[in-house]
Amino acid sequence: MAKVNRWLNNIQFCLFPGTCVICDKASYRQLDLCLDCEANLPRPASPCLCCGLPLRTGSYKGDICGRCINKTPPYTRIISAFNYAEPVNSLISAFKYADKLAYGRVLSELLLQKLEVVYQHRPLPDLLIPMPLHAKRVRERGYNQALEIARILGRNLDIPIDYQNFTRNRYTSPQEGLNIQQRRSNLHRAFTCRNNSISLPACVAIVDDVITTTASIQSLCKILRKYGAEEIHAWSLARALRKV
């Protein structure tokens, strides 16, 4: 399936050459992003293999931060393609709120490239679960951006997607601007499972656009573990280095 998708992408590129979503010039590649603009995107440097935040100099073991060592998070690891900074944050904002799905496709393709490297010599998760969006929010926005990302990743990595069993049953206020305690309170019992007989595979991955305090990820992890998930990865386009 991945080979077929790449073949279709080649045909599409021949018919419709790429145009950079940042500088609006021809990209001359099978991606709507030129090499110069891609080189300037903010990428994580020496991230913790668990929470994805930058490691401090002299960090214990060199790959896991002290916070994750002292208190093991409910998720196994977070993998993000970029830091949540310009121009990535503007692209994601337009993707979420201004129907710029092309921006999401570009960033998802770059996340895909990173995942292919990270999992080159290790097994991929067996199931993708897009971060659930309340039905009212989906109607307002027209789509769930996490599902759009998951579709690109799942299609190319040949991983099935579960976007129906887990739902956000509370119409919570936006997380932006809230501190960690407010975010956790906002998400208390926000997620539920429609199918009580479901049995998840041991290893799953949550897909989201931006991970900030991990409050949403941790809340969803509680439900996923209840239904059999033992190892939970979280994939996102961007990781915020501070509260947004």
Q: How far apart are the first and last CA of the chain?
A: 38
Q: Which residue in 216, 71, 187, 62 sits closest to 129, CA to CA?
A: 216
Contacts of 219 (CB under 8 A, 6+ apart): 184, 187, 188, 190, 191
Question: What is the set of domains in the chain, with CATH numbers?
Answer: 1-40 (no CATH), 45-239 (3.40.50)
167: β partners: 192
Q: Chunked in runs of 10, what are the mean pLDDT values of the chain (244 residues)? A: 56 67 93 96 94 78 86 97 98 96 97 97 97 92 97 97 91 58 62 93 98 93 96 98 66
Q: What is the pLDDT of residue 127?
A: 98
CB 73 within 8 A of CB 218: yes
Q: What is the pLDDT of residue 1?
A: 58
Contacts of 3 (CB under 8 A, 6+ apart): none
In what side-by-side order are the strands of the sheet with 203-211?
77-83, 231-239, 203-211, 127-130
The encoded tokens of residue 53 equal 């935040």
- What is the Cα–Cα distance from 21 to 155, expressed in whole angstroms? 23
Helices (H), the chain: 2-15, 35-39, 66-70, 88-97, 101-118, 135-141, 145-157, 180-186, 215-226
pTM metric for this prediction: 0.87
